């Protein structure tokens, strides 16, 4: 029988069989561990990049705010103005100084303020221009209109009013500094928000007086700066 079928093989010890599987599993575990370590290092590197981006963005915001405060801190009270740290909005919040009720023409007092404010404002922002997307002149109103208007009619009438006022501001400032006219044309926009961004009092109710305001808002091109930082560190 052995001549016909060959010599019978002895059964493989079960211990050797499981030892081979164990070695295979250990090897696979080492591979998976190596992949996990590489993934963790890449994730840590990406997190560091994100952290650096956030720090750079915050530092730029703070630098602009500090520069504005250094230049204008002594003028804020007399102009009825404030500077918002988070949005970099320079808010003129004394409506009785800015425009007559329901009108878009600048009052003489506001013209005098702008004559002083605007050249200095552009000078402060000049070192930061590479990090700016635009400067936006924003017009805001209360929700009030005459009693015969519906809520929709009041909103769009206030929209027209806020847009007209910011256009009037930009028109007045357009030629104030001839050397800056091209930059103003390319980088300063006039926007009216109607009553969409009301100022609320402590009770959460509309503060009609404080809602009527004009703001100069410096908007940074954070998305572009983020892309540059990530590319530089990749």
d(CA 99, CA 68): 25
Angle between helices 108-125 and 14-72 (to 10 degrees): 130
pLDDT for 8 equals 52
Per-residue pLDDT of the chain (234 residues; tens, 9 = 90+): 555 444 555 555 555 555 566 666 666 677 777 787 777 766 666 666 666 666 777 888 999 999 999 999 999 999 999 999 999 999 999 999 999 999 999 999 999 999 999 999 999 999 999 989 999 999 999 888 876 889 899 899 999 999 999 999 999 999 889 999 999 999 999 999 998 988 888 888 888 888 899 999 999 987 666 666 666 655
* SS3 label, residue 90: strand
> What tens digit of pLDDT does each residue of 11-38 get?
555 555 555 666 666 666 777 777 877 7
Token pair, residue 77, equals 């009270």
pLDDT for 112 equals 96
Structural domains of the chain in order of their starting residue, each with its CATH number? 50-231 (3.30.1330.60)
pLDDT for 5 equals 43
- State which H helix or E strand residue 233 sits in: helix 222-233
Instruction: Check: CB of residue 177 under 8 Å from CB of residue 122.
Output: yes
Q: Name the one residue in this structure whose structure tokens are 């100069």.
A: 216
Token pair, residue 185, equals 């044309």
Classify strands 132-140 and 188-192 as parallel, antiparallel or unpaired.
parallel
Instruction: Check: CB of residue 200 under 8 Å from CB of residue 145.
Output: no
Task: Indicate the pTM of the whole model.
Answer: 0.74
> What tens digit of pLDDT does each residue of 206-215 get?
888 888 999 9
d(CA 105, CA 195): 19
């Amino acid at each position: 029988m052995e001549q016909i079928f060959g010599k019978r093989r002895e059964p493989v010890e079960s211990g050797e069989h499981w030892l081979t599987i164990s070695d295979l599993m250990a090897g696979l575990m080492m591979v998976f561990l190596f992949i996990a370590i590489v993934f963790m290092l890449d994730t840590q590197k990406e997190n560091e990049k994100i952290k650096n981006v956030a720090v750079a963005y915050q530092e730029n915001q703070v630098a602009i705010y500090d520069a504005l405060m250094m230049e204008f801190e002594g003028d804020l009270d007399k102009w009825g103005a404030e500077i918002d740290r988070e949005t970099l909005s320079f808010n003129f919040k004394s409506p009785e100084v800015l425009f007559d009720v329901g009108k878009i023409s600048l009052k003489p007092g506001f013209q005098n303020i702008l004559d002083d404010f605007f050249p200095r404002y552009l000078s402060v922002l000049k070192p930061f221009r590479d990090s700016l997307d635009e400067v936006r002149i924003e017009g805001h109103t209360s929700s009030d209109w005459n009693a015969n208007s519906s809520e929709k009619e009041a909103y769009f009438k206030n929209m027209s009013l806020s847009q007209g006022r910011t256009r009037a501001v930009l028109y007045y400032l357009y030629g104030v500094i001839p050397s800056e006219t091209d930059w103003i044309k390319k980088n300063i926009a006039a926007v009216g928000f109607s009553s969409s961004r009301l100022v609320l009092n402590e009770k959460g109710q509309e503060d009609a007086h404080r809602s009527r305001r004009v703001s100069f808002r410096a908007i940074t091109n954070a998305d572009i700066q983020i892309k540059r930082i990530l590319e530089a560190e990749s």
